[in-house]
Amino acid sequence: MATPILSTRVLTYTDSATLDAFAQNAVITVSHSSAASVTIPDASAVDFPLGTVIQVVQVGAGAVTVTVPGSDTIAGTAATVAAGDTLFVTKTTATGWHSALAT
């Protein structure tokens, strides 16, 4: 299996957002004063390859929750990022993601 390469591509959001294929291996920053969500679309909408890593960094005051719709799942540590924290979400199966919180 190939080692994923983290991107230098940074996508900045100021509110809740649903990611698209361009988010593959990107750093996602969210700057919002209240709670927001970042939705990773289900596999039938955007088929991210296995090993895709999405890094979510909360740079605002409100917490950010990373979600997946439908039958896709996120396992691992909490998928909510507090101010100043980073969450790494890695695609590990066809419809599964694993998260790891870095504070």
2 falls within a domain: no
84 falls within a domain: yes
pLDDT in tens, 43-89: 999 999 999 999 999 998 999 999 999 889 999 876 888 888 999 99
Domain that holds residue 27: 10-102
4 falls within a domain: no
CB 101 within 8 A of CB 65: no
Long-range contacts of 9-17 (CB under 8 A, 24+ apart): 13/38, 14/60
CB 24 within 8 A of CB 48: yes
Which CATH number does the domain housing residue 65 bear?
2.60.120
Half-sphere exposure of 50 (CA within 13 A, CB side): 5
The model scores a pTM over 0.85: yes
Could you give the number of structural domains in the chain?
1
3 falls within a domain: no
5 falls within a domain: no
CA angle (14 as vertex; 83, 65 as ends), nearest 5? 50
87 falls within a domain: yes
CB atoms near residue 43 (< 10 Å): 17
